[in-house]
Amino acid sequence: MSARTARAPAKINLTLHVLGRRADGYHELESLVAFAGACDHLRFSPDAGLSLQVDGPTAGAAGAGHENLVLRAARNLQERVAGLRVGAFRLTKYLPVAAGVGGGSSDAAAALRLLAAENGIGLDDPRVLEAACATGADVPVCLDPHARMMTGAGETLGDSLGFAPVPAVLVNPRVAVETRAVFAKLGLTAGQSCGFGKHPQIEGGMAHDALIAALKKGRNDLEDPAGVIAREVMDVLAVLAAARGVTIARMSGSGATCFALFAEPRQAARAAGTIRRGHPGWWVRPTLLR
């Protein structure tokens, strides 16, 4: 059989509200998630055994060992589907690692899509979703990478929202930020709730201006704790906020990647060029969020 390929797009949290911490220790979230044109690439070739090779600009930080999420997702699906046909994966990493863009989760979801296609299994098969949930909290939302609301610890997903692509610039200062440490810095105890304010109403097919107006009422509750851990987050946000034509500058996930939104792609491209020249050590990508 021939090889199959899949994109693993960056997951961007346009909002991330922390509602509290559950009794089981997980944080209760409310987040509008979108996906970028910036992505990793995953290739799958049927084989008798399961294997993974990792290359690409950010491969060194990703790891190709037993605990890579691509292999973990494949093993989780193997446990649930008798006789699952597996094979060799080749992951080409372009996205920064430990960066708040769900790179590993998106890679894992891409692996599940490829295995499902190889085995004639629908993505709505409960076994695929169970494998995604077992692999990581962000993997389920990456299975069908379109903008949608994500709630709970990431396991409850809304319908695809279908708004028009939003021009954006993604910036990472090449500083890894551990998600666990950021949540710990938030300082919530099990059972404790937050009173930071309700999430804005997001509707399917919103026009660009209406979407931006709603997003301005949202926030990322992890920005401050991430900024304490990595001062570079605040530096990136300041640079993005100063870009010409920017409508919103915010951190994604637990950082350190931040994004800026624009009305037109040419504004995003111009801002990305300016930021690259001023900060050649940063990872900078103009993109469209969907």
pLDDT per residue as tens digits for the range 35-59:
999 999 999 999 999 999 999 999 9
Q: Which residues are catalytic?
A: 11, 138
Are residues 8 and 135 part of one domain? yes
- Do 186 and 267 share a domain, yes or no? yes
The domain boundary residue, chosen from 126, 157, 188 = 157
Residues 172 and 149 in one domain: no
Verify that 201 and 152 share a domain, yes or no. Answer: no
Q: Are 91 and 8 part of one and the same domain?
A: yes
For residue 160, what are the CA distances in angstroms to 87, 136, 185, 288? 31, 21, 32, 16
Please say which residue of 125, 157, 189 terminates a domain: 157
Structure token pair of residue 157? 């997903």
CB 6 within 8 A of CB 113: yes
Tokens of 235: 């530096």
Domain residues for the domain of 139 are 4-157
Same domain, 131 and 170: no
108-154 pLDDT, tens per residue?
Answer: 999 999 999 999 999 999 999 999 999 999 999 999 999 999 999 98
pLDDT at 1: 60
Rounded-to-integer distance, Cα 83 and Cα 103, Å: 28
- At 178, list the tokens: 């551990």
Angstrom distance (rounded) from CA 82 to CA 111:
17
Q: Which residues of the chain have pLDDT under 70?
A: 1, 64
Query: Alpha-carbon distance 62 to 251, whole Å?
Result: 21
| Backbone conformation region of residue 255, classed left if phi is above 0, alpha if psi is from -120 to 50, else beta | left
Q: Are residues 16 and 95 in the same domain?
A: yes
Phi-psi region of 100 (alpha: psi -120 to 50; beta: other; left: phi over 0): left
Among the candidates 104, 126, 157, a domain finishes at 157
3-class SS string, 182-245: HHHHHCCCCCCECCCCCCCCCCCCCCHHHHHHHHCCCCECCHHHHHHHCCHHHHHHHHHHCCCC
Q: Cα 171–287–212 angle (5° rounding)?
A: 90
Count the domains in the chain: 2
Which CATH number does the domain housing residue 129 bear?
3.30.230.10
Residues 182 and 150 in one domain: no
Residues 225 and 268 in one domain: yes
The strand pairing partners of 77, in sequence order, are none
Q: Do 194 and 52 belong to one domain?
A: no
pLDDT at 194: 86
pTM reported for the whole predicted model: 0.95
Domain of 256, CATH number, reads: 3.30.70.890
Whether residues 270 and 176 fall in one domain: yes
* Same domain, yes or no: 145 and 178: no
